[in-house]
């Protein structure tokens, strides 16, 4: 479970940071209100899953899988908006989305295989 919590924290911080960039708080020049809103919502969902994993540890794996899947779906929508030309199209935004997809897929794989790793450690 600590790995799940660590991963959810990392992802929530990444989406929170991206939201702050798109809101113009951390860096200027990449402002995009809709991207900031979407990243804020995704970050909050990941934070909710993190807190839920503390309150209800037995459901942490399910919450992590659901929230990471939601984040991946939202990121894919973001990529779609870039492709069709309504989302931000800077090199920063493209790299950000590629990084999000890679980290979310890694997190989903880590969490999905977590039960197998836990059983190996107990043996």
- pLDDT tens-place values along the chain, 123 residues long: 688 999 999 999 999 999 999 999 999 988 999 999 999 999 999 999 999 999 998 889 999 999 999 999 999 999 999 999 888 888 999 999 999 999 999 999 999 887 544 545 455
Burial 23-59 (b: 16+ CB within 10 A, else e): beeeeeebebeebbebbbebbebbbebbebbeeeeee
Structural domain containing residue 102:
2-122
Q: What is the number of domains present in the chain?
A: 1
């Amino acid at each position: 479970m600590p790995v799940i919590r660590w991963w959810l924290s990392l992802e929530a911080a990444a989406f929170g940071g991206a939201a702050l960039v798109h809101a113009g708080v951390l860096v200027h020049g990449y402002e995009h209100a809709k991207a900031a809103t979407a990243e804020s919502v995704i970050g909050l969902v990941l934070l909710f899953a993190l807190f839920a994993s503390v309150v209800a540890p037995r459901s942490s794996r399910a919450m992590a899988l659901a929230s990471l899947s939601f984040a991946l779906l939202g990121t894919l929508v973001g990529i779609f908006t870039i492709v069709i030309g309504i989302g931000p199209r800077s090199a920063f935004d493209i790299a950000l989305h590629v990084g999000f997809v890679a980290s979310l897929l890694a997190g989903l794989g880590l969490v999905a295989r977590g039960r197998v790793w836990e059983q190996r450690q107990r043996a």
